[in-house]
Amino acid sequence: MNWLERDQNSIWHPFTQLLNGFEHIMVEKAEGMYLHTPDGRKIMDAISSWWVNLHGHSHPKIAEAVAKQASNLEHVIFAGFTHSPAIELAEKLLSILPKNQSKIFYSDNGSTANEVALKMAFQYWYNKGEKKRKKVIAFEGAYHGDTFGAMSVGDRGPFSAPFSPYLFEVEFLPMPTAENHSELLNKFEKILHLGEVAAFIFEPLVLGSAGMKMYDASFLDQLIEMAQKVDVICIADEVFTGFGRTAKNFASDYLNHKPDILCLSKGLTGGTMALGVTSCTEAIMEAYKSTDIMKTFFHGHSFTANPIACAASIASFDLLVNEDTQSKIQEIGEWQTEFYHKISQHPKVQNARVLGTIFAMELKTESDTSYVNEVRHKLYPFFLERDILLRPLGNVIYILPPYIIKKEEIEKVYNAVEEMLETL
Ligand SMILES: *Cc1c(COP(=O)(O)O)cnc(C)c1O
């Protein structure tokens, strides 16, 4: 049997239809911008492998940190014990997180970071003896992960339809647009006014999975201000937007009113290992300081604060705050903005947008913009045939490179997009 057959015989891949045996591409090595296949192809990873990779694949500094950690302390139970990679990483993260953030809670991935945030917020009110606050506010189309709590506060669409009877109730607001501000503010005010809201959860400035939909920082600022006035806990899901994607360390850095809780993952380890972080303010912590055992936060995973993942994160952090990386992030932002200006008026393009290193545009088609838009089935292979990995969300094409992409490499991606517009 060849690799392909063995893969099909033994593995169930995520987000993949099982009928007709989808042919997965074998990757035997990855380095910098490129995925290498056994038949000698070099595919450029222009979406940072599902938005996780910051510094290129198999980065020597991260690899070295992982190897060193693995041979010294691979893992230890994190209840009753601690270790320096966890402490060092927590201190580093707190040094760049919004100043109101005071503690780091570790988990395994983006979904668990959001589960922890929601549970932290719910139990905050439970510990305070506040029984009325059960509601959560979230944005329509949001994506916070694939576990049940995360699904509950996310888009009620095709992905979550089979599970809808099992998801808890959420008040959904439309994503802010230039047109709906006053309507949205009214609705928000009305829900807040009931005094039953525990938390407001949002992807700050960019709804990633919804198709890189972007909205205004000043408007989100206003919503957070209103929510915090009535003590609603504001949760920023920065799993995607964190670590420079928006040209600042965090999307929350664009806000004057800082969230109470932040969720991080994806770029946290530079895209090397699975790790999640939920940070919170001192005020959230306070509600858990008690001799009453029932006020303990009973949440933890076997691999909480895995030392190897923390070591990868520390190495990635040091690369991220390096001046060269910081100026590269700005440079990528400039290239993306130039391309945005070049392409936005193209007759087949609508709603082109850019924020920091994130560029997105919609291909005009007969059907609506959505994940299930059929044109995706032409776009994905079109770019792959040119050895470029872009993974359009329906008819939304986005470019999200690691922070090491060279000018001539991103130009190759831009040229392919332009070629697609002329030929498809
Ligand atoms: C990817 C993503 C998640 C889920 O993270 P996983 O590590 O895939 O569980 C949550 N929130 C946002 C905004 C994301 O983009």
User: Would the annotation count 218 as a binding residue?
Assistant: no
Give the pLDDT of residue 369: 74
Sign of the four-CA dihedral 347, 350, 354, 357: negative
Give the pLDDT of residue 164: 96
CA of 266 to the centre of ligand 1 (A): 7
Q: What is the dihedral of CA 390, 235, 141, 21, to 10 degrees?
A: 50
Nearest CA to ligand 1 atom 8: 110
CA 353 to chain centroid, in Å, comes to: 18
Beta-strand relationship, 34-36 and 42-45: antiparallel
CA of 145 to the centre of ligand 1 (A): 5
Decide whether any atom of ligand 1 lies within 6 Å of the 109 Cβ. yes
Decide whether any atom of ligand 1 lies within 6 Å of the 278 Cβ. no
Give the pLDDT of residue 105: 98
Q: Cβ distance 275 to 315 under 8 Å?
A: no
Give the pLDDT of residue 142: 97
Give the pLDDT of residue 172: 97
CA of 203 to the centre of ligand 1 (A): 10
Give the pLDDT of residue 376: 86
Which residue in 151, 137, 141 sits closest to 223, CA to CA?
A: 137
Q: What is the largest CA-CA distance in the chain?
A: 68
Instruction: Say how far apart CA 149 and CA 144 lie, in whole Å.
Output: 9
Give the pLDDT of residue 85: 98
Decide whether any atom of ligand 1 lies within 6 Å of the 328 Cβ. no
Kindly give, in sequence order, each residue whose CB lies less than 8 Å from that of residue 47, ignoring residues fewer than 6 positions away.
Answer: 389, 390, 391, 398, 399, 400, 401
User: What atom of ligand 1 comes closest to residue 266's alpha carbon?
Assistant: 7
User: What atom of ligand 1 comes closest to residue 111's alpha carbon?
Assistant: 9
CA of 265 to the centre of ligand 1 (A): 7
Decide whether any atom of ligand 1 lies within 6 Å of the 245 Cβ. no
Give the pLDDT of residue 367: 79
User: What atom of ligand 1 comes closest to residue 150's alpha carbon?
Assistant: 10
CA of 209 to the centre of ligand 1 (A): 9
Give the pLDDT of residue 4: 87
CA of 241 to the centre of ligand 1 (A): 10
Instruction: Say how far apart CA 116 and CA 316 lie, in whole Å.
Output: 23
Decide whether any atom of ligand 1 lies within 6 Å of the 111 Cβ. yes
Nearest CA to ligand 1 atom 5: 110
Helix/strand/coil percent split, the chain, to 5: 40, 15, 45
CA of 342 to the centre of ligand 1 (A): 31
For the chain, 424 residues long, give each residue's pLDDT as a single digit of tens.
888 889 989 999 998 888 877 789 999 999 999 999 999 999 999 999 999 999 999 999 999 999 999 999 999 999 999 999 999 999 999 999 999 999 999 999 999 999 999 999 999 999 999 999 999 999 999 999 999 999 999 999 988 999 999 999 999 999 999 899 999 999 999 999 999 999 999 999 999 999 999 999 999 999 999 999 999 999 999 999 999 999 999 999 999 999 999 999 999 999 999 999 999 999 999 999 999 999 999 999 999 999 999 999 999 999 999 999 999 999 999 999 999 999 999 999 999 999 999 999 999 988 777 766 778 889 999 999 999 999 999 999 999 999 999 999 999 999 999 999 999 8
CA of 289 to the centre of ligand 1 (A): 30
Decide whether any atom of ligand 1 lies within 6 Å of the 362 Cβ. no
Question: Hey, which of 202, 239, 398 would you mutate to test ligand 1's pocket, going by the most ligand atoms within 8 Å of its Cβ?
Answer: 239
Burial degree of 160 (CB within 10 A; 0-12, 13-18, 19+): middle
Nearest CA to ligand 1 atom 6: 110
